[in-house]
């Protein structure tokens, strides 16, 4: 494990260096979705190259079961751990590789811009950006294993079907195309039917619509353990994004034996708790709260366990989300899934920081090709003449709006528009477990719906780097104002100080204050020895200082030794704000 910093000046020659860093890995026709994405070896090279910048320190948070480093890049100047910081986490979902690509591009953009842009340089003088580009490197590396599938967990062997055996009934590539897709089995006991708009899309039959299932829909594979379940125990490992303490999904696949059970989750959680200077966390995850912001529930705030965004934090969280939407259009963004055991929820509810969760990319919605108009039938002509009974009958048989399979229809329309080979047509195979039934294998290719084409990554990276800089500019900014001194005689002085926060962000989330996970602002008065504090302590706290000009006053009544003129030093500090000092003369 290499914990030493590698710091030399970064030399850019015509941009060739970063073109080399972004060089795509060699891929086969089966995994073309990975073209332009960095596997672990390439990621390690990119990290090492970035660490040549005088702004970047490379370290490792730990080594996984697969022997891979959990890389950390610390970006900034001076004593990085002593300055307010933003933590950026790449793909917390193993298969959502776009997240690690965004994290690396943010790191790269900050180092490049600081050389030419005074505003960026000033922000990196004041603040630190921590980047963990790939918190689950073992899980993400499974994306390059054959046959290609969408991995979820790390390298821990798991008994996903809880039968006492490990990995005995995993997916299998039955049609030999190098991909794990789906198989549909004709069965009148099945739950699924083909979508009326596109037979490639399978949706659950709705008895209320007088629909009857025709297919079983299963992951491509065999029932090797003869338990009448298919591909249910692929030893998929533990998911980083299901292993945290908030809303932990007990006994569910991918959750692990207990909360924070894994090397990866412990390493990241320990790093976070050991760095109280972290103000906010930006996570690339499906559990988006920037395009689909969290909403508070004032009625639930009296409960001991907090499970919704607190009203006191909602206005700031909304402003941070609005800043994101100005850079990244929210048009046609999908809904955010529930985050059971997710890192981004933990970052707010249990770690107590501003948690900014971004999906980074989603498939744009495009109109499906219009169907050719049908030739008018005689019944249509009768309706045109005013036959209301037939008109009512036609309206009754017209299919109502149906959201089932909508995301799949969007994906297929997008593939057609962009000429993306993202779907395997269903074709029959002979399946030994279903000798008397028709079985077809096909479906969406792995990874293509989670990650954009590599040609979009640089533009997306620039947008997210701009967002990081904008968030840093909204960090708490403390000023000491209106220091008043009043000599009261006999060596006694009254000292009053007003502390203001000119940044958008308060010095703590309200959630962090309640959970006692954020350091309060300390106001320290330093006076000569033997000074007697008649009112107020030498060190006093401000639990939370609101943003946008929020203020707090502290007052001391002191008796100076020997009643001689002297200087007092007032120091305001917290990990989330750094240090601000001023001196005042007492006469």
Share of the chain above pLDDT 90, in %: 72
Q: Is the pLDDT of residue 378 over 60?
A: no
User: Is CATH 3.40.190.80 correct for 16-146+237-363+452-472?
Assistant: no
First and final C-alpha spacing in the chain: 58
Looking at residue 393, what is its pLDDT? 36
Position 373 scores a pLDDT of 41
Contacts of 568 (CB under 8 A, 6+ apart): 495, 525, 526, 527, 583, 584, 585, 586
Helices (H), 51-117: 98-116
Q: How far apart are CA 427 and CA 553, in angstroms?
A: 74
| Domain ranges, ordered by start, for the chain | 16-146+237-363+452-472, 182-233+365-444, 478-586
| pLDDT at position 233 | 60
Average pLDDT over all residues of the chain:
86
Q: Whose CA is closest to 463, among 187, 93, 101, 208?
A: 101
Region 520-528: mean pLDDT is 93
Q: How confident is the model at residue 62 (pLDDT cuts 50, 70, 90)?
A: very high
Determine the pLDDT at residue 567. 87
Torsion of CA 41, 42, 43, 48, to 10 degrees: 90
183 closest CA partner among 449, 413, 432 = 432
Task: Report whether 414 contacts 364 (CB < 8 A).
Answer: yes
Task: Report pLDDT for 6.
Answer: 38
Residues in the chain: 587
Q: What is the pLDDT of residue 225?
A: 61
Residue 572 backbone zone (phi > 0: left; psi -120 to 50: alpha; other: beta): beta
Assign 160 a pLDDT band (cuts: 50, 70, 90).
low
Find out whether 514 and 306 touch, Cβ atoms under 8 Å.
Answer: yes
Please give the pLDDT value at position 165.
63
3-class secondary structure for 309-347? CCHHHHHHHHHHHHHHHHHCCCCCCCCCCCCCCCHHHHH
Q: What's the pLDDT score for residue 166?
A: 64
User: What is the pLDDT, as a whole number, of residue 14?
Assistant: 33
Distances from the Cα of 21 to the Cα of 35, 41, 54, angstroms: 14, 11, 18
Q: What is the CATH number of domain 478-586?
A: 2.60.40.10
CB atoms within 10 A of CB 48: 14
Model confidence at 193, in pLDDT bands (50, 70, 90)? very high
pLDDT of residue 338: 81
pLDDT tens sequence across 7-59: 333 333 333 333 344 444 444 545 678 999 999 999 999 999 999 999 999 99
At 161, the pLDDT band (50, 70, 90 cuts) reads low
Residues 6 or more apart whose CB falls under 8 angstroms from that of 120 comprise 110, 113, 114, 469
> Tell me: the pLDDT tens digits for 88-98?
999 999 999 99
Cα 317 to Cα 505: distance, rounded to the nearest angstrom: 9
Pairing of strands 423-429, 215-219: unpaired
Does residue 216 surpass a pLDDT of 80? yes
DSSP 3-state helix, strand, coil percentages of the chain (rounded to 5)? 30, 25, 50
Lowest-confidence pick of 21-30, 102-111, 388-397: 388-397
């Amino acid at each position: 494990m290499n914990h030493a910093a590698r710091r030399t000046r970064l030399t850019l020659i015509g941009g060739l260096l970063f073109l080399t860093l972004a060089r795509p890995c060699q891929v086969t026709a089966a995994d073309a979705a990975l073209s332009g994405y960095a596997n672990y070896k390439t990621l390690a090279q990119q990290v090492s190259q970035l660490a040549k910048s005088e702004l970047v320190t490379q370290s490792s948070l730990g080594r996984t079961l697969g022997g891979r480093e959990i890389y950390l890049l610390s970006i900034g100047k001076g004593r990085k751990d002593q300055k307010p910081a933003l933590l950026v986490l790449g793909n917390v979902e193993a298969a959502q590789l776009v997240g690690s690509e965004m994290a690396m591009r943010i790191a790269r953009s900050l180092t490049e811009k600081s050389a030419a842009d005074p505003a960026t340089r000033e922000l990196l003088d004041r603040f630190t950006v921590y980047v963990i580009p790939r918190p689950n490197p073992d899980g993400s590396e499974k994306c390059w294993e054959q046959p290609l599938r969408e991995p979820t967990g790390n390298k821990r062997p798991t008994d996903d079907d809880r039968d006492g055996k490990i990995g005995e009934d995993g997916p299998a590539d039955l049609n030999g195309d190098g991909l794990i897709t789906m198989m549909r089995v004709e069965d009148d006991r099945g739950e699924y039917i083909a979508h009326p708009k596109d037979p490639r899309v399978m949706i659950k039959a709705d008895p209320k619509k007088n629909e009857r299932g025709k297919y079983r829909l299963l992951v491509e594979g065999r029932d090797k353990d003869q338990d009448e379940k298919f591909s249910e125990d692929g030893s998929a490992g533990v998911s980083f994004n299901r292993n945290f303490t908030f809303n932990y999904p007990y006994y569910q696949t991918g959750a692990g034996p207990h909360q924070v059970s894994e090397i990866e989750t412990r390493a990241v959680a320990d790093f976070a708790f050991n760095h109280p200077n972290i103000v906010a966390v930006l996570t690339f995850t499906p559990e988006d709260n920037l395009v689909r912001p969290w909403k508070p529930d004032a009625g639930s705030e009296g409960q001991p366990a907090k499970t919704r965004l607190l009203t006191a934090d909602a206005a700031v969280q909304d402003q941070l989300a609005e800043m994101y939407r100005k850079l990244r259009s929210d048009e046609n963004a999908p809904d955010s899934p529930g985050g059971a055991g997710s890192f981004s929820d933990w970052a707010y509810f249990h770690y107590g920081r501003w948690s900014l969760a971004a999906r980074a990319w989603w498939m744009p919605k495009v109109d499906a090709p219009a169907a050719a108009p049908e030739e008018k039938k005689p019944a249509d002509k009768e309706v045109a003449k005013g036959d209301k009974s037939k008109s009512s009958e036609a309206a009754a048989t017209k299919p109502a709006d149906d959201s089932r399979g909508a995301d799949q229809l969007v994906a297929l329309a997008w593939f057609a528009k962009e000429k993306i080979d993202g779907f395997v047509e269903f074709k029959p195979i002979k399946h030994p477990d279903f000798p008397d039934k028709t079985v077809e294998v096909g479906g969406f290719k792995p990874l293509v719906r989670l990650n954009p084409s590599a040609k979009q990554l640089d533009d997306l990276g620039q947008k997210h780097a701009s967002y990081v800089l904008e968030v840093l500019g909204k960090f708490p900014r403390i000023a000491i104002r209106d220091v008043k001194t009043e000599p009261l005689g006999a060596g006694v002085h009254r000292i009053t100080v007003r502390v203001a926060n000119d940044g958008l962000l308060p010095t703590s989330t309200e959630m962090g204050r309640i959970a006692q996970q954020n350091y309060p602002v300390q106001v320290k008065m330093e006076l000569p020895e033997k000074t007697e504090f008649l009112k107020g302590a030498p060190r006093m706290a401000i639990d939370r200082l609101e943003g946008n000009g929020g203020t707090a006053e502290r007052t001391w009544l002191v008796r100076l030794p020997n009643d001689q003129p002297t200087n007092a030093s007032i120091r305001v500090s917290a990990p989330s704000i750094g240090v601000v000092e001023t001196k005042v003369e007492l006469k």
